[in-house]
Structure 1
Amino acid sequence: MATALIILAAGQGKRMNSDLPKVLHELGGAPLFAHALSAGSALAPDRIVLVAGNGAEAVSAAATKLDDEIEVVLQEDRLGTGHAVDQARAALAGFDGDAIVLYGDTPFITPETLEAMIAARRGGADVVILGFEAADPKRYGRLVMDGQELRRIVEYNDASDEERAITLCNSGVVAADCGTLFDLISGLSNENAAGEYYLTDIVEVAREKGLRAEAVTCPEAETLGINSREELAAAEAQLQAIKRAEAFENGVTLVAPDTVFFAHDTFIGRDAVIEPNVVFGPDVTIESGARIKAFSHLEGCHVSAGAVVGPFARLRPGAELAEKAKVGNFVEIKNAQIAEGAKVNHLSYIGDATVGEAANIGAGTITCNYDGVFKHRTEIGPRAFIGSDTMLVAPVRVGADAMTATGTVVTRDIEDGAMGVGRARMEVKPGFAVKLFEKLRARKAAKKGH
């Protein structure tokens, strides 16, 4: 059966006190709505519709960047969750399959939970609601059950004392046949205090039509919604705890786990060692046996087996380290490939470059890759030795087994096996230092006399 995702991302998020739309605030280095999208994408959906509202242009741009097949529709008036889902009606006209409604500010729903909802649909439920047992039900809507069947969802303000005692609460996530979902939404009323169309009311409409509604449950932690900066921080802490636990389970050593921060998609292989105060940005893969030393920052990079990074290193997008490569302290790598066994150990910037197998890059080396308009590449051949404080003015090539003298500015190619020297001739002037300082001190004394 085909599946469509409807992700609600139109809310203003007033409690965030931000010019940025709520769903674009980041969790684990990704926009909030991307987490719901990731969970739903595990079902291999045929269609994805995102309902935008506040900051729609920015939300649409972010959605397209993640997946250019996402269809973005606009909810111009905020008339409730039922009205929000209804904005996807035209986009999904004629779609034959199930629709799952997710929320852009609820990032922890798991693929397994969504699969359980689909299974309930296959088992005969016309409408499936996701519920959770709340430790403190507060003002959540309550799910009133009759055995396996969901009778209705009652909001806290409308609930009796007996209904308020129910701890099975509504998450808002819904699964139903797409056509059925929109038929039920057509039967909603906004005759309530808020004057809004509530998606939860489709359960009552469904029962009036003789349809069957059921509830599937998940842990309360999966239903955490984010409405404020404080809740965002709590969600980040929850995500980091999950990622650290996954790392341990996968055989990764975290020397000081509370100081290591992961992105939503960080992948680290077995027997890798992560030292204290390491930060992973999005799109990082660390292979088995690699070691990331303390105070390093990695983003958009790949570190192969046995490679060593840091301490105090920065790997930027496009950095590719082959097996047993070494990147040391205060080194920055950007859009560069460091081949097997190559070393960039100290105080260097290697950008838009290729460093060959077993090459050695001396301290203070810089690839001068940007002319103010265009980026240019530097190629350093296998087993080349780059002397300390070398400036490589791209585009330029240093050949295999070649060498640069310390302090050289490389402005043209160096052939294989050759040595490049490009520095001014040094002169030594006997007694000049003493004379110079005597002159400067006399000048200083004269100024004080005035």
Structure 2
Amino acid sequence: MAKLSAVVLAAGMGTRMKSALVKVMHPLAGAPMIAWPVAAAFEAGVDAAVLVVGHQQEKVRGYFAQGEKEVSFAVQAEQLGTGHAVRCAMPHLSAGTDTVLILCGDTPLLTAATLGAMVKVHEASGATLTVMTARFANPFGYGRVLKGDDGSVTAIVEEKDASDEERRIQEVNAGVYCVDRAFLAEAVEKLDANNAQAEYYLTDVIKQAVGQGRKCLSYTVADPAEISGVNDRVQLAESARILRGRINRELMVSGVTMIDPAAVYIDRGVTIGRDTVIHPGVTITGQTVIGEGCEIGQGAVISASRIGDGSVIKAGSVIEEGHLHEEVQIGPMAHLRPGCELMAKVKIGNFVETKKIVMGKGSKASHLTYLGDATIGTGVNIGCGTITCNYDGVKKHHTTIEDDVFVGSDVQLVAPVKVGRNSLIAAGTTVTIDVPPDSLAISRTPQVNKEGWKLRKGKG
């Protein structure tokens, strides 16, 4: 098979987004907009990709810097049209490239299946150029595809340059092309800007191919929605809805239950095991991995976390960058801040906040507690209202609670402090020094009862 390289056009600012951020880097279901067409191209069989960048090119470069795929960059310092963009890319194509797949960085709905099918048709036909097309009842704004009697493509006319008769054509240019590299390299150098936009149109290479007697074909996409570009926030939201719908469908087909898929927001890159149940209003982002047989309650928010099999995340809980082992229970209304690792069968109850803790198997903090910068052993009970006082105004300090400790209600642990195994901390105690193993720690102001005081003071 001929070596296939992609050219992805991503140099424009996207002024209709009304944003300080370049259009192709707007987040979309867990990845920048441009990540979607690039990923689709590689999945369709592309060996390498050249991204044509311009505005805020450092942001685009930065995102792809850690990628495993072969991605390089061409700079279009002045945006003079699609033909000019491809001209900028040509010197950066991988050696040995025979066919160039050209697509736009603002078409995130294009699928690998569609691109792959187009490439196969192109290669089997022997055409010099194949253009992806779609049919719309109201094709306003799109370039119209002109064809000869044999069905071959003879030209593409942009909306502003089209005659009234040409504007009635319903088959439009999707902006995706498969082109012979040798022909393309010569053709883009011959482009001119004699048109209403004063730009170098990539579509004009078709006229050159036809003039040379070369075969130019079309490939009509089955779902016209795939070619939809994103130009404003409304289209961005609609694209996100469609992409999340695809993600949810794939998860459900693999064995995940969603009570109301339209009300579940799961980003690209999330993995969820079979027989897990997702309730409405849930948001799951980052490279989160959720095991089998879990239950994620209504309104839970989970980001960049690992959740073991059989765990239950109750309604309204938030988990950030956490690692939960098997059969952990969280919430309702709990908040796990980054850096928490909870071993099997741990319970974090309602209105408990944790940050950067390790909690041993079977330990629990059932309600109204803050645990930060702490190592907690197995079988530990943390009473209601317990606080680890970990910050002295300058530095964070660590608390260690060993196995089988019982911490009563309303306890303050002033770090750095260590509680030895099998100890009991009485309710209301402020712990400021280490507690030896097997001990009772109690620190209270003596209670004084003044009998008759209320009668002497009177009702006032």
TM-score tier after normalising by the smaller chain length: 0.7 to 0.9
User: Does structure 2 conserve the Cα–Cα contact (< 8 Å) formed by 1:30 and 1:282?
Assistant: no
Asked whether 1:431 is paired with 2:450, we answer: yes
1:322 counterpart letter in structure 2: H
C-alpha distance in 1 between matches for 2:452 and 2:326: 50
> Any idea what the Cα deviations from partners look like across 1:333-353, whole Å, max 9, x if unmatched?
222222222111222222223
Residues 407-434 of structure 1 show CA distances to partners (whole Å, capped at 9, x for unaligned) of 1405333444444566242431223996
The answer on whether the counterparts of 1:325 and 1:343 sit within 8 Å (CA) in structure 2 is: yes
The whole-number CA distance in structure 2 between the counterparts of 1:134 and 1:338 is 54
Counterparts in 2 of 1:388-407, with a 5 A limit? Answer: 388-392=384-388, 393=390, 394-406=397-409, 407=411
Instruction: Give CA deviations for 1:131-150 in whole Å, capped at 9, x if unaligned.
Output: 11223212311223454633
State the AA in 1 paired with 2:14.
G
Mapped partners of 1:106, 1:302: distance in 2: 31
Write the distance in 2 (CA, Å) between the matches of 1:85 and 1:309.
49
Q: Please tell me whether residue 301 in structure 1 is matched to residue 305 in structure 2.
A: yes
What is residue 21 of structure 1 aligned with on the other side?
Answer: 22
1:134 aligned to which of 129, 133, 136 = 136
Instruction: Note if 1:411 corresponds to 2:416.
Output: yes
Distance verdict in 2 for CA 1:432–1:228, change over 3 Å:
farther
Q: Say yes or no: does 1:274 pair with 2:275.
A: no
Residue type at the aligned position of 1:382: T
Residue aligning to 1:448: none
Q: Find the counterpart in structure 2 of residue 30 from structure 1.
A: 31
Pairing of 1:342-353 with structure 2 (within 5 A): 342-353=346-357
Question: Which range moved further: 297-306 or 422-431?
Answer: 422-431
Please state how far the C-alpha of 1:161 moved relative to its aligned partner. 4.9
Is the 8 Å Cα contact of residues 160 and 196 (structure 2) preserved in structure 1?
no
Structure 1: how far apart are the matches of 2:280 and 2:451? 50
2:179 corresponds to 1:176: yes
| Partner Cα distance (1:411, 1:248) in 2 | 47
Q: Judge conservation of contact 2:10–2:51 (CA < 8 Å) in 1.
A: yes
CA shift in 2, pair 1:383/1:234, >3 Å: same
Q: Is the 8 A contact 2:357 2:372 kept in 1?
A: no
Tell me, in whole angstroms, the C-alpha distance in 2 between the residues paired with 1:70 and 1:396: 47
How many residue pairs get matched? 431
Q: Distance in 1 between matches of 2:29 and 2:457?
A: 61
1:196 aligned counterpart, secondary structure: coil
| 2:368 equivalent in structure 1 | 364
Find the residue that maps to 1:199 and give its secondary structure: coil
* Structure 2 Cα separation of the partners of residues 358 and 60 of structure 1: 46
- Structure 1 range deviating more: 163-172 or 175-184: 175-184
CA distance in 2, matches of 1:144, 1:438: 99
Name the SS for the 1:99 alignment partner: strand
Q: Take 2:172 and 2:158, find their aligned partners in 1: how far apart are those partners? A: 10
**Distance in 2 separating the partners of 1:433 and 1:97:** 100
Cα distance in structure 2, aligned partners of 1:31 and 1:142: 30
State the partner residue of 1:196: 199
Q: What's the counterpart of residue 108 of structure 1?
A: 109
Aligned equivalent of 1:283: 287
Select between 171-180 and 189-198 the one with higher mean Cα deviation: 171-180
CA separation in 2, counterparts of 1:41 and 1:396? 49
Shift of 1:327: 0.8
Distance in 2 between residues matched to 1:63 and 1:2, nearest whole Å: 22
Looking at structure 2, the residues matched to 131 and 438 of structure 1 have their Cα atoms a distance apart, in angstroms, of 90
Moved more, 345-354 or 382-391: 382-391
Q: Deviations over 1:273-320 (max 9, x none)?
A: 222221222323333321111121111112232211121100112x12
1:338 aligns with 2:346: no
Structure 1 residue 252 corresponds to structure 2 residue 256? yes
- Deviation per residue, 1:176-216 (Å, 9 max, x gap): 24444322212222121222111112222223334322222
For 1:199 and 1:111, locate their aligned partners in 2 and report how far apart those are by CA, in whole Å.
23
8 Å Cα contact 1:325/1:340 also seen in 2: yes
Distance change in 2, residues 1:69/1:166 (3 Å): same
Give the AA of the match of 1:272. T
* Counterpart residue type for residue 326 of structure 2: E
Q: Secondary structure at the match of 1:365?
A: strand
Contact 2:323/2:342, CA 8 A, preserved across alignment: yes
Q: Which residue of 2 aligns with 1:373?
A: none
CA deviation string 1:99-128 (max 9, x = no partner): 322212111000001111221232122222
Alignment partners' CA distance in 1, 2:183 and 2:349 = 63
Aligned counterparts, 1:38-117, within 5 A: 38-43=39-44, 45-64=46-65, 70-92=71-93, 94-117=95-118
Assess if the C-alpha contact under 8 Å between 1:95 and 1:178 holds in 2. Answer: no
Any idea what SS the aligned residue of 2:362 has? Answer: coil
Contact 2:132/2:220 (<8 A) preserved: yes
Residue 222 (structure 1) aligned with residue 226 (structure 2): yes
Unaligned runs of 5+ in 1: 370-377, 443-450
Q: Which residue of 2 aligns with 1:447?
A: none
* Paired residue type of 1:303: I
Does the CA contact (< 8 Å) of 2:48 and 2:94 recur in 1?
A: no
1:241 matched to 2:245? The reply is yes
Work out the CA distance in 1 between the residues paired with 2:451 and 2:164: 96
Distance 1:177 1:366, change over 3 A: farther
- Aligned mates of 1:367, 1:178 — CA distance in 2: 61
CA 1:352–1:2 in structure 2 vs 1: closer, same or farther (change >3 Å)? farther
Aligned-residue offset at 1:4: 2.4
The one-letter amino acid of 2:219's match is V
- Give 5+ residue unaligned stretches, structure 2: 391-396, 431-442
The TM-score normalised by the length of structure 1 is 0.86
The equivalent of 2:358 in structure 1 is 354
Q: 1:433 to 1:403 in 2, by over 3 A?
A: farther
What secondary structure sits across from 2:418 in the alignment?
A: coil
Residue pair 2:329, 2:345 contacting (<8 A) in 1 also? yes
Give me the identity figure in percent.
28
- AA aligned to 1:328 is G
Range moving further from structure 2, 197-206 or 151-160: 151-160
